[in-house]
Structure 1
Amino acid sequence: MAQSNVKINSKNVKYNIQDYIESVDKQNKLYRKTLIIIIISQIFGGAGLSAGVTVGALLAQDMIGSDSLAGLPTALFTLGSAAAAFIVGRLSQRLGRRVGLTAGFFAGGVGAIGVIIAAILDQLPLLFISLFIYGAGTATNLQARYAGTDLAGPTQRAKAISMAMVFTTFGAVAGPNLIDVMSKFAESIGVPPLAGPFMLASAAFLLAGTVLLIMLRPDPFIIAKGIAEAQQNRPGHAGQGQAAPQITAANKRGIVIGATVMVLTQIVMVAIMTMTPVHMKSHGHGLGEVGIVIGIHVAAMYLPSLITGVLVDKLGRTTMSYMAGLTLLAAGLLSALAPADSMLLLTLALALLGLGWNFGLISGTAQIVDATTPSTRAKTQGSVDVLIAIAGASGGAMSGAIVAHSSYTTLSLLGGILSLLLIPIIVWERSKRQPR
């Protein structure tokens, strides 16, 4: 077998890629080990991302004194997420998942600390800058789902994505339900109550980064690149001796469809989710009730992942993308029609919102992985996640303005209608494909 040109001789990395290239058993063991490490980091990362989702808008509302800019925090940390997705993707492509993901989580932890300081000092500029940096943790938590697919086979990819996502649920659900506890703790030490959840976020993101820094060795992406290169140079291979294959026209179509699915589902989910806490608070619901609704919403975003992964692998990426559009439509309609004082209907609406997002993210992510090779995969994934983050930022920014100038009902109806665009867009794009 041809020797791989990829060598790891650093004193800090004590493994030989060739050993993994020559042993399928070692590849499988590393695949399983990687999933376990990603799962551990996702538990912490999930707790970190839920703070901004749950109380970011409320904190800004208190400091600004206006509902019209309540969507700005989501827009800021989502824009920060976009910048981080690009950087983490490039770092992962060049240096491996361990370096890229660790850097992203550490940045998110620093941003959360900045939010706490801004709340104490009542400094809006610092709050906005810190929320932007905090977004790095959100982007990294999302990008970690790709690490589980690096050594997965084509029929394992959606399940690998779902394994990474489902364990985010434990932290992501615990976070909103610890709002009261963290708020009271913050108040007891002289910190504004709404900054309390960001204390949890800072510790969670830093722990997630530490887990990856210490445990993610060997790096699955570096191994995957070595395996792909060895296969490319194998005698008799059609591309022997050539440079690593770039993205083809057919693959670009797959990337376009996967990105479109994730972008539209992100816009709808973020827009409705962002303004739900503000809508509930303005109608007399307390922080505890807000935490329950958002906690169930986040659970629906991640907990069904194992079943979704199996369905995506069995029924196909396209079928589950259609299901994402229909589920988000149901969520938008129920959010619009539910009485503001009905905890049950609001909870159900937000649960459907999370489930539709789950369908869209896993089916879209699987299409992106299918359409890329290790030579371009991480940076392509990072670029797609930039689009997702920008979409979320747009949804968050527009949501506050729509509610301020119209109503939460209008916002929910618009979100439901927008989600339906998934179906004609996918049908149109698929009709453009040339027959094999």
Structure 2
Amino acid sequence: MQVMWISRNVNFIGLLFANTILGVAMPMLLILGGLTGLMLAPTEGLVTLPASVQTLAGLLAAAPCSLFMGRYGRRIGFAAGGCVAITGALLATYALIADSFVLLCAAHFVLGAALASFQYFRFAAAEVVSTEWQPVAISLMLTSGLVAAIAGPEIFIMAKDALAPIPLAGAYAALAAVLLFGITPLAAVRIPRTEDPSPKLNITRFSALSELRRGPVRRAVGIAAVSQGVMIFLMIPTPLAMIGCGFVEATAGDVIRWHVVAMFAPSFFTGFLIKRFGAEQIAIAGLVMVLAAALAAAAGLSAAHFYGSLILLGVGWNFGFIGATSLLASAVTAGEKAAIQGVNDTIIALVSTVCAFAAGLVVTGYGWAVLAFVTMAVLLITFVILAMGRKQARLEQI
């Protein structure tokens, strides 16, 4: 019994270290995508293309990554994702040396596909602990985002001129080294294969869509998608709105920094709250906080309004996303998880992509207040749908 306890904790610690190091890639690429696009894009309209193809690759790769892990195991899946990401980082380094925008876009496509595999660390965390500790494991796994948000920009600053006179190439090379270091903790990880007595042992990606008819699965996917989508919808245009209101870039950046802290810092205790009150209750509480964030955004345009709104948005996302992840982890069997988790992350990526694109159109065309009111409308519709789903579930039990 003691040996099993030690083994499971070694597995969790190995996953946590790997996820923390590999997670540094995302904030670095958020910085590099725009800057390198500005350097190499032939026209201003293509500046954001590297970041866009990276997002598209994540959308396309989400389900295949999950199915790959379902067949070959989490450890091989994460290691393969890390190796693909290293390839993408080296390709991006060469793209800057060769002054090739096409190669840069190809590199970000490869990187986006690789990063999709890292999203499954939160599910892997739930698989190496006992059922009662799954919410805590998922929550603690997401604390890595806080470390990555701090370490990523620092590594970028230190490495960006390492291959001078070619600007920024050193940052991509440093990223490749970080990714190589990040896959090493996986050597200590042993995630046991779970035998599933269910007749649905190996459902396909397409049959998994039918599983959305199940109440717990549908609610988990819906809450996660709304939490992620609305967070992106409000977060992405915040710097643009603040600069439009006369704030300096440093203030806008500070608001985003505290938003990121609010997204990941609560992860130290969110899992324990889920153990105490339940996953769905915490997830809905998160949506309520996001609604409060939208109300704060609509209430005014002062620095206090922006800070308050984005901090509430971060905490609300944390509760909603972790709660929904825990709800999904407990709602699927071992044979279903590869396909259903793939569908879940594909839907989240699709909603995020649409919200990122729509946010720019709304804030530039109609203003920050309208953006906030649209957010409130989406959340109110979500609450109505959740209430109707609960009512239907009660009627079916009678």
**Fold agreement, TM-score > 0.5:** yes
The correspondence for 1:403, drawn from 342, 363, 387, is 363
Contact 1:67 1:400 in 2 (8 A): no
Q: In the alignment, residue 267 of structure 2 is paired with which amino acid?
A: S
Q: In the alignment, residue 371 of structure 2 is paired with which amino acid?
A: L
Name the CA distance, whole Å, in 1 between partners of 2:164 and 2:33: 20
The 5 A counterparts of 1:33-112 are 33-54=10-31, 56-57=33-34, 59-60=36-37, 75-112=52-89
Partner of 1:8 in structure 2? none
Contact 2:10 2:188 in 1 (8 A): no
TM-score, normalised via structure 2 length:
0.83
Cα deviation for residue 384 of structure 1 reads 0.9
> Percent of counterpart pairs with the same letter?
25
Query: Does 2:242 align with 1:268?
Result: no
Once the two structures are superposed, residues 372-427 of structure 1 have per-residue CA deviations (whole angstroms, 9 ceiling, x without a partner) of 11122133212211111111111222223333433344334423432343322222
Structure 1 counterpart SS, 2:263? helix
TM-score, normalised via structure 1 length:
0.77
Unaligned runs of 5+ in 2: none
Structure 1 residues 190 and 384: alpha-carbon distance in aligned structure 2, compared to 1, 3 A threshold: same
Structure 2 counterpart SS, 1:50? helix
Q: In the alignment, residue 273 of structure 2 is paired with which amino acid?
A: L
Q: In the alignment, residue 375 of structure 1 is paired with which amino acid?
A: G
Contact 1:176 1:291 in 2 (8 A): no
Cα deviation for residue 352 of structure 1 reads 2.3
Name the CA distance, whole Å, in 2 between partners of 1:202 and 1:41: 14
Structure 1 residues 348 and 128: alpha-carbon distance in aligned structure 2, compared to 1, 3 A threshold: farther
RMSD: 3.4
Cα deviation for residue 370 of structure 1 reads 0.9
Q: Which moved more, 1:330-339 or 1:396-405?
A: 330-339
Cα deviation for residue 270 of structure 1 reads 2.0
Q: In the alignment, residue 105 of structure 2 is paired with which amino acid?
A: F
Name the CA distance, whole Å, in 1 between partners of 2:52 and 2:144: 26
Partner of 1:300 in structure 2? 262
Partner of 1:5 in structure 2? none
Partner of 1:359 in structure 2? 319
Partner of 2:177 in structure 1? 203
Contact 1:114 1:130 in 2 (8 A): yes
Name the CA distance, whole Å, in 2 between partners of 1:66 and 1:347: 35
The correspondence for 2:272, drawn from 306, 310, 330, is 310
Q: In the alignment, residue 52 of structure 1 is paired with which amino acid?
A: L
The 5 A counterparts of 1:207-286 are 207-212=181-186, 214-216=187-189, 218=190, 220=191, 223-225=192-194, 228-229=195-196, 232=197, 244=201, 252-279=214-241, 285-286=248-249
Structure 1 counterpart SS, 2:22? helix
The correspondence for 1:148, drawn from 125, 132, 147, is 125
The correspondence for 1:368, drawn from 317, 328, 337, is 328
Query: Does 2:383 align with 1:423?
Result: yes
Name the CA distance, whole Å, in 2 between partners of 1:58 and 1:322: 38
